[in-house]
Structure formats: structure tokens, C-alpha cells
Amino acid sequence: MSDDHRPLAGRRVLITGGSRGLGAATAHRLAGMGAEVVVTYRQRAEEAEAVVAACAALTPGARAEPLDLLEEDSVRALFGRLEAAGEELDVVIANAAATAFKPLLELKLHQIDKTFAISVRHFLLLAQLAFPLLEPRGGRIVAVSGADTVGYIPGHGLLAAAKSSMETLVRYLACELGPLGVTAVGVLPGYIDTESIQLMAGPYHDKLKAAEELTHPLRRAATPEDASEAVALLCLDEARWLNGQIVQNDGAGLFAYMGRFGHAWAMVPDAATGTAPPAAGDAPMLGHSDVGSERAEAGG
């Protein structure tokens, strides 16, 4: 395969939370682009090893490392091992996250501490410890934020507060590390169909997924593979001038939310409001049929 198809050949990328979900999909995509990936996991060693095997088949050298972002010592130990092995890094992707999805008044202090430990306290420690390994290669920190920092999602107040802080740290890192040749960027996905969404939605997961599929501009509920596309793009050299940006990779889903509100009526059965089913065509404002556009024009 030509270098055009393996633009990350010779690069080493560390991905936290690479045992499943977005982290695993990103690791696989990056390995396909030629990167040697180091994926971290907290508990699921077997799943991490399966990710590693798939990545190693694309680019040799993939491996898994334990990392618990709740524990300062675990973060220090990981970078101690990397340093001892003399391993530099081109990109560190801070992807792992965990929280309690609850209304703010129901949150326990330990849940607040844990959420902030992963996404703020130890995100910054990770950046501090990664810097010496990134600097020789003019490397990059890529932080994964989320749609809850942009708009209200029930049960997401705590994670949103932590991720907003993480976004602020990314902007400051961009300014402080930029002069030293290291860049920092954030990526902000919308819905991704992973275990964490299933945990959040519980028995309503299928309805939530169906709502995405019906109303998202791309008419999909994003998979981890979908969301990993832009994360991988941010690892390319050519993304250097995105330094300090928080790049939305939500497929316009967030911008479209008001429009989705406009579509919500479509999910209400006609019988629920006594509306007579239309003889033909869509609502006038959608303009998907001749009947609709005539009506829209007539109405001015």
C-alpha cells in the first residue's frame, strides 16, 4: 500500500479507553493508516487484547496497557513504562471517560470526584507526563469531549461540567505548548452507539437510537466507526492549524436539533391528535412534494 494510504506510518499513538467503543474504533482506524497504537484499558483486558490483535494485523507493534484514570499512580506508572522503554509518542488521544448519569441534585460527592478525576485532574496529569514524549516529535494531544457541553442532555450535567473544563484545558494547552511545537485539539461527537449510551438510556436505548436514525441529518445513529473518522483526521500533520479548536464531529446533528424539534411531530401517531392523514406528500415546510411546495408558495 502506498504512503498516501498509510499517512501515519512510523507514528506511535496512545489511546486511552481503547478496549471498546470509540477508542477501539479509533485504534483500528489509525492502525489501518499505519500507526503503531498503544491502547489502554481499565478492566477489560481480553477485549483490549482483541483490539490489539486486529490492529497488529494492520500495523505491527500494537499493544495494550492497563490504565486507571481514577488513580494518579496508575497514570504515572504508564508513563514510567513508556519512558523506560524509550518510547516517544506522536499523538495522545484522551478518550476514556466515565461518570454517573444522574440529575444534579441526586449526585453523590464521590461521583463528582471520580468524573473530574478522569476528565480534568488526570487529563492534565496525562498531558504533563506525555509532553516530554511528544515534544521530540512535534506531537499532539487530542481530547474527546462531548455534545453535552453544547446543549442540555438529561443526566449529563456532571460530565458536561468536567468536559467543559477539559475543553478549556485544551485551549490553554494549545497556547502554552504551541510555542514548544506540541499542539492540542478537542473533538466533540454527538450520539455514538456504544455501551455508555446503553447505560445512559437503559430500557429506552432502542427508542433513542431510532430517534437518531429518523431525525439526524445523515439519517444514522453514529457508530463508533463513524465517530472515529474525524478523530483520525485530527491525528494527521495537516490538522496542526486546528490547534486549540474543539472540532464537532457530530455530522451536523447538533446544529440540526432545532430542526429535529420541527420533525418531532412526525413521530406522533395521527390518531393521538385526531389529525386526518394527508392524502399525499409531506408537510408544506419540508417541500418534499409538489403538493407541499404549492401550499408553501400559496401561503407566501
Q: Which residue has the cell 406528500?
A: 281
- What is the closest distance, in whole angstroms, from the C-beta atom of residue 36 to ligand NAP in the complex? 19
Total chain residues near ligand NAP (CB under 6 A): 31
The binder of ligand NAP chosen from 32, 139, 146, 155 (CB under 6 A): 146
The binder of ligand NAP chosen from 11, 13, 21, 230 (CB under 6 A): 21
How far apart are the C-alpha atoms of 75 and 93, rounded to whole Å? 14
The binder of ligand NAP chosen from 157, 186, 189, 292 (CB under 6 A): 189
Angle formed by the axes of helices 224-233 and 21-32, to 10°? Answer: 50
State yes or no: residue 26 binds ligand NAP (CB under 6 A).
no
State yes or no: residue 186 binds ligand NAP (CB under 6 A).
no
User: Among 69, 41, 250, 27, which residue's Cα sits nearest to residue 146?
Assistant: 250
State yes or no: residue 231 binds ligand NAP (CB under 6 A).
no
Count other C-beta atoms under 10 Å from residue 98's C-beta: 17
How far apart are the C-alpha atoms of 222 and 33, rounded to whole Å? 21
State yes or no: residue 197 binds ligand NAP (CB under 6 A).
yes
Cβ proximity to ligand NAP: between 41 and 131 the closer is: 41
- Binding segment for ligand NAP among 66-74, 82-90, 207-215, 265-273 (CB under 6 A)? 66-74
Cβ proximity to ligand NAP: between 35 and 292 the closer is: 35
User: Among 62, 52, 64, 11, which residue's Cα sits nearest to residue 235?
Assistant: 11
- What is the closest distance, in whole angstroms, from the C-beta atom of residue 142 to ligand NAP in the complex? 11
State yes or no: residue 195 binds ligand NAP (CB under 6 A).
yes
Report CA-CA distances (Å) from 112 to 31, 78, 95, 274: 35, 24, 19, 46
Contact assessment for residue 244 and residue 174, using Cβ atoms and an 8 Å cutoff: yes
- What is the closest distance, in whole angstroms, from the C-beta atom of residue 224 to ligand NAP in the complex? 6
Cβ proximity to ligand NAP: between 52 and 292 the closer is: 52
Cβ proximity to ligand NAP: between 131 and 191 the closer is: 191
DSSP string, 141-167: EEEE--GGGTS--TT-HHHHHHHHHHH
State yes or no: residue 118 binds ligand NAP (CB under 6 A).
yes
Contacts of 233 (CB under 8 A, 6+ apart): 239
How far apart are the C-alpha atoms of 111 and 101, rounded to whole Å? 10
State yes or no: residue 131 binds ligand NAP (CB under 6 A).
no
Count other C-beta atoms under 10 Å from residue 156's C-beta: 21
Cβ proximity to ligand NAP: between 16 and 183 the closer is: 16
DSSP string, 275-294: PPPPSSS--GGG--SHHHHH
State yes or no: residue 22 binds ligand NAP (CB under 6 A).
yes
Residues present in the chain in total: 300
- What is the closest distance, in whole angstroms, from the C-beta atom of residue 68 to ligand NAP in the complex? 5
- Binding segment for ligand NAP among 4-12, 18-26, 130-138, 281-289 (CB under 6 A)? 18-26
Q: Is 70 helix (H, G, I), strand (E, B) or coil?
A: coil
The binder of ligand NAP chosen from 62, 82, 97, 235 (CB under 6 A): 97
Where does this chain bind ligand NAP (CB under 6 A)?
16-17, 19-23, 41-44, 47, 67-70, 95-98, 118, 144, 146-147, 189, 191-192, 194-197
